Amino acid sequence: MKFLDQPPRFLFFTGKGGVGKTSIACATAIRLADAGRKVLLVSTDPASNVGQVFGISIGNRITEIATVLGLAALEIDPQAAAQAYRDRIVGPVRGLLPETVVKGIEEQLSGACTTEIAAFDEFTALLTDSALTADYDHIVFDTAPTGHTIRLLQLPGAWSGFLEAGKGDASCLGPLAGLEKQREHYKAAVDALADPQRTRLILVARAQQATLREVARTHEELATIGLTQQYLVINGILPDSETETDPLALAIHKREQAALQAIPAVLQTLPRDLVMLKPFNMVGLTALQHLFDDTAPTNTVAVDSPLELNEPNLSDLVDEIAKDEQGLIMLMGKGGVGKTTLAAAIAVELAHRGLPVHLTTSDPAAHLSETLNGALDNLTVSRIDPHQETERYRQQVLETKGAKLDDKGRALLEEDLRSPCTEEIAVFQAFSAIIREAGSKFVVMDTAPTGHTLLLLDATGAYHREISRQMDTTGLHYSTPLMQLQDPKHTKVLIVTLAETTPVLEAANLQADLKRAGIEAWAWIVNSSVAASRTRSPLLRQRAANELREIKAVARQHAQRYAVAPLLQLEPIGVERLRALVSHQ
């Protein structure tokens, strides 16, 4: 592995949920410790399975791993860090200020930014010289801060006012005002991150086009900030040997090889390592010690028992949706889980049943409107480009609201506008005109705003609600977008996930976030399930067996109703293949 060659003190692994960051970070830490180095492994994985991996309980304190000489670990729970931060701010005024006021404050501090900055706060002590970490040759992190967070910390404008004087202008960094450390600590931490002598960033991806595109964006963003020492690891590649026995395995192999061939140009120059898919779970020392081996160990786990998956499929869900004859159907989930494909499949099936449908998508790939527009009588397709919408929104804000700002203020406003919330808001605004159509037909969308965004939107709608109360007395009807989304007769939110630990956990967090906004997810879809396909490849059957536990968790703990959609040999493009996805049995 190239990324393990002469590693600096700090190693950061970054990539989206489910690509295997934590496993690779664990395996790296073990490898370094086995080579005689003193290593601290820091995990912020919400699934937090580092303890499970080593068979001990770790938690938020440095814990020696007895089975690996020289290795210690620490788990940081970003949600708990954010909660602790909220409690510090809100706790003292609980009972003193009206309950609704306290709730409003808590919501402001419940966004993704707060969570990230609170987690970064926990990092800083580990990145700057301290007695805590002096003993360790290497500190391995299974996550990295985003470009947005680092840039904010670098902006001089962000630090004026609140942070130094405790008064004055707020900023997106406002959350830091309640944090305990001083500016110098954050600066030292950011300096350490941007120092190639001290820090190596390892981008973790899968051999999938969409994932590689996303990694390319992360690479460019972090390189611009100064994190120039980057490596690329592509995890979970299906080996050649599997393709002989099974058409699905062959199709996956071809797709992966094509994705590797077409790897984005900016990633081509990075030192690259490939990690093969292993026929065992990444739990336990032995498994992790073999993660980087090229030759699969011979003790392949046999999965001889037939995997008879008798789970509800998409057509069951569509039957129920169709009964209402109209309404808003929103698919929600992390990037890469297949929201767009599933939205298209549901829309096509509804239209095929003679129901009027408007499918609207934010997928950058344009083929949907090309292949579907005019293909069915009752189906219209429209597309919204998230980058265009976000850019338009940013320009509009900068030109109008930022016109009078000085350079520092303008830089800060620009960075605030690069926050993940901004894109969500811009896209949702673009969709909201179409949403109104849902009173007379089906509107199917491949995106949905988070509960946090909805609650913030609704706070600005307080004035409108006041008006609506006055209008109600005159017999006029008024409803805010949030009220519309909260009404199960009007809106159905479908949460899309993969049958893997981290994606299921992330989906559960999305659901909890919606619940805070008073929206109940109507159903879950477990997408790209190998268990729901009929594969004979031993490696894929092992993966299928692992999926069963996750599908069970979705069915029993998370979803009020659910469906499982299979991983397909062919990409579902066009009416026929999309319909096949719904009626697959």
Partner 1 sequence: MSTIQIFDPALCCSTGVCVVDVDQQLVDFSADVDWAKQNGAQIERFNLAQEPMVFAENPVVKGFLERSGAEALPLILVDGEVALAGRYPNRNELTRWAAINVIEEKDASSCCSGSKCC
Annotated catalytic residues are 18, 20-23, 45, 502
With binding defined as CB under 8 A, does residue 482 bind partner 1? no
Q: Which is nearer to partner 1, 365 or 462 (CB)?
A: 462
Range 438-457, binding partner 1 (CB under 8 A):
456-457
Cα–Cα distance for residue pair 189/192, rounded to 1 Å: 5
Cβ neighbours for 463, distance < 8 A, ≥ 6 positions apart: none
Q: Which 53-92 positions form the footprint of partner 1 (CB under 8 A)? A: 89-90, 92
**Whole-angstrom distance, CA of residue 448 vs CA of residue 441:** 18
Main-chain dihedrals φ then ψ at residue 126, nearest 5 degrees: -80, -25
List the alpha helices (DSSP H) in 132-208. Answer: 147-154, 156-159, 162-165, 183-193
Residue 401 binds to partner 1 (criterion: CB under 8 A):
yes
Please name the residue that has the structure tokens 């009929």. 534
**281 is an interface residue for partner 1 by CB under 8 A:** no
Please choose, from the candidates 456, 523, 531, 460, the residue with its C-alpha nearest in 3D space to the C-alpha of residue 500: 531
Q: Which of 12, 120, 123, 162 binds partner 1 (CB under 8 A)?
A: 162
The answer to whether residue 139 forms part of the interface with partner 1 (CB under 8 A) is: no
The reply on whether position 115 binds partner 1 by CB under 8 A is no
**Residues in contact with partner 1, total (CB under 8 A)?**
53
What angle (nearest 5°) sits at the alpha carbon of residue 567, between those of residues 279 and 202? 55
Q: C-beta of 450: minimal distance to partner 1 in Å?
A: 12
CA distance 147 to 153: 10
Of residues 412 and 510, the one with the C-beta less far from partner 1: 412
Q: Which is nearer to partner 1, 121 or 142 (CB)?
A: 121
Among 80, 177, 287, 580, interactor with partner 1 by CB under 8 A: 177
Q: Is residue 157 within the footprint of partner 1 (CB under 8 A)?
A: no
Interface residue with partner 1, options 463, 474, 477, 557 (CB under 8 A): 463
CA gap 413, 405 in Å, rounded: 9
Question: Residue 46 or residue 175: which is nearer to partner 1 going by CB?
Answer: 175
Alpha helices (runs of H) in 12-111, residue ranges in sequence order? 21-34, 50-54, 78-90, 99-108
Q: Which two tokens stand for residue 76?
A: 């940081």
Q: Does 201 bind partner 1 (CB under 8 A)?
A: no
Touching partner 1, residues 408-437 (CB under 8 A)? 409, 412-413, 416-417, 419, 421-422, 425, 429
Piece in contact with partner 1 (CB under 8 A), picked from 175-183, 198-206, 383-391, 436-444: 175-183
Contacts for 549 with CB less than 8 Å, ≥ 6 apart: none
The Cα–Cα gap between 582 and 535 comes to 19
Angle at the Cα of 190 from the Cα atoms of 2 and 133, rounded to 5 degrees? 70
Taking residue 108's Cβ as centre, other Cβ atoms within 10 Å add up to 18
From candidates 405, 434, 548, 573, binder to partner 1 by CB under 8 A: 405
| Coil/strand/helix, residue 43 | strand
Establish if 174 lies at the interface with partner 1 (CB under 8 A). yes
User: What residues make contact with partner 1 under the rule CB under 8 A?
Assistant: 89-90, 92-93, 96-98, 100-102, 104-105, 107-109, 111, 113-114, 162, 166-172, 174-175, 177-178, 397, 400-402, 404-406, 409, 412-413, 416-417, 419, 421-422, 425, 429, 456-457, 459-460, 462-463
